[in-house]
């Protein structure tokens, strides 16, 4: 018992200390430059950086977890996620004093990173389950929903960044091989955007045909104004991140098109335009799936909103992601992680355009990381201000009698 208390006190001490530091954002170019020299004895350099940086990133987001409403923290799934983070933090700070690392220490560190990555593989689904548990047990008011939205954006962005660091180290220095010989860790220095688009389309099409027995065809157009001699658009990027975004967008577009034309024997094509400009690479997916009402456009990026059926409860730690409504919010985080973006625009009654923006210059594609500070902590303690713009009132519409009552109420109001 005394040993357990001492460990908890020691962990809390290190947590407070590391949360005082800001995470250090890296650019894709820095990842690539370091990875190119990975065979010249830089494993120790990576170890020395990560043994400090990973605890800093964990501590920053763990401090924010502690600011969540108490009833949410007591949900079984959220408690499980907190335990995973605490365990991973304790494992990492064991290397805190290792200023000079032996080969055994380096190998042990790499093995720990693999264990941490595996332990956190179901964090997204488990945290989503925790939100459902809160909703079922207590309900969620508007202010709580705003805080959850704010937190989850930061929490999942932190998770993306931590997995990026872990994947780079384990792919460069561990036993796991990169998915392609030209890759530097998980980064492709010559990522062919069209190939990733087609790969994501084919896999989404397979799912669509399984469910609906039909799927729209794909038309791709590439523009490269800076080099008209080639239609190929290449960039330095993480193919798995780009695939994740495109696969989610294709699934949504296919579902919209098929359901908008339920009796059609031939569906309108999905059109993808890939264009490489001076600053951004733009990937625009256009569909004729009937569009989205303007009132619902912003809701698509809310974690608590989904147009799919709610997933069934599971006794295991993992749960199905479909139906949680996390596809688009997470895809936008992947886009923003390296200073890009994901934007939707819609023509209600016709179709929707989804645009992914990626930085052309890899030295400008810096990580976007959440930082724990007083400004962040105030968000969890302050209610959202009352709306100071007029909004439609249900009682303000109707016959002249209700309108007259409205004017009478306004006339009698003291100002």
Active site residue 248: yes
Please check whether residue 341 is in contact with residue 278, taking contact to mean a CB–CB distance below 8 angstroms: no
Q: Are 368 and 25 in contact (CB under 8 A)?
A: yes
Nearest alpha-carbon partner for 339 in 237, 256, 411, 264: 237
Dihedral over alpha carbons 161, 376, 295, 127 (to 10 degrees): 50
Instruction: Reply yes or no on whether 244 is catalytic.
Output: yes
Q: Are 377 and 297 in contact (CB under 8 A)?
A: no
The CA distance from 342 to 329, in Å, is 9
Choose the catalytic residue: 248, 276, 359, 367: 248
Half-sphere exposure of 344 (CA within 13 A, CB side): 26
Tell which residue, 31, 56, 12, has the closest CA to residue 337. 31
C-alpha–C-alpha distance, residues 208 and 203, integer Å: 9
β 234-237/270-276 pair status: unpaired
Catalytic residue, chosen from 122, 167, 252, 271, is 252
Q: Where are the alpha helices (DSSP H) in 261-321?
A: 294-297
The sign one gets for the Cα dihedral 233, 234, 237, 238 is positive
Dist CA 41 CA 257 (whole Å): 53
Please answer whether residues 301 and 329 qualify as being in contact, where contact means their C-beta atoms are separated by less than 8 angstroms. yes
Identify whether the C-beta of residue 255 lies closer than 8 Å to the C-beta of residue 207. Answer: no
Residue of 244, 260, 276, 359 marked active site: 244
Concerning whether 96 is annotated as a catalytic residue, the answer is no
Active site residue 251: yes
Instruction: List residues with catalytic annotation.
Output: 244, 248, 251-252
């Amino acid at each position: 018992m005394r040993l357990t208390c001492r460990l908890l006190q020691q962990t809390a001490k290190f947590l407070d200390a590391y949360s005082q530091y800001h995470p250090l954002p890296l650019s894709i170019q820095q990842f690539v430059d370091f990875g190119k020299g990975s065979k010249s004895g830089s494993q120790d350099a990576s170890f020395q950086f990560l043994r400090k940086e990973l605890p800093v990133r964990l501590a920053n987001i763990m401090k924010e977890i502690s600011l969540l409403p108490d009833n949410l923290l007591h949900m079984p799934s959220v408690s499980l996620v907190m335990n995973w983070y605490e365990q991973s933090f304790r494992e990492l700070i064991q290397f805190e004093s290792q200023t000079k690392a032996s080969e055994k220490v380096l190998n042990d560190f790499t093995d720990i990173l693999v264990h941490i990555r595996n332990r956190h593989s179901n964090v997204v689904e488990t945290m989503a389950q925790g939100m459902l548990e809160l909703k079922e047990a207590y309900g969620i008011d508007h202010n709580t929903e705003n805080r959850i939205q704010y937190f989850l954006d930061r929490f999942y962005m932190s998770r993306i960044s931590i997995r990026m660091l872990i994947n780079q180290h384990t792919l460069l220095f561990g036993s796991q091989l990169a998915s392609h010989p030209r890759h530097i860790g998980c980064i492709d220095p010559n990522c062919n955007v069209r190939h990733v688009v087609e790969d994501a389309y084919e896999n989404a099409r397979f799912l669509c045909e399984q469910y609906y027995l039909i799927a729209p065809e794909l038309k791709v157009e590439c523009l490269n104004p800076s080099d008209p001699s080639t239609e190929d658009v290449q960039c330095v990027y993480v193919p798995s991140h780009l695939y994740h975004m495109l696969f989610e967008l294709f699934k949504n577009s296919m579902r919209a098109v098929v359901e908008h034309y339920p009796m059609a024997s031939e569906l309108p094509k999905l059109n993808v335009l890939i264009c490489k400009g001076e600053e951004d690479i733009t990937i625009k997916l256009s569909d004729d799936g009937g569009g989205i009402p303007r009132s619902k456009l912003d809701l698509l990026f809310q974690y608590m909103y989904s147009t799919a059926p709610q997933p069934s409860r599971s006794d295991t730690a993992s749960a199905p992601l479909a139906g949680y409504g996390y596809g688009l919010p997470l895809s936008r985080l992947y886009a923003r992680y390296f200073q890009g973006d994901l934007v939707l625009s819609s023509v209600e009654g016709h179709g929707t355009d989804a645009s992914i923006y990626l930085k052309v210059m890899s030295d400008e594609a810096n990580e976007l990381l959440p930082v724990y500070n007083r400004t962040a902590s105030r968000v969890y303690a302050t209610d959202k201000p009352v709306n100071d713009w007029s909004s439609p009132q249900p009682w303000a519409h109707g016959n002249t009698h209700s309108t007259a009552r409205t004017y009478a109420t306004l006339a009698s109001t003291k100002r």
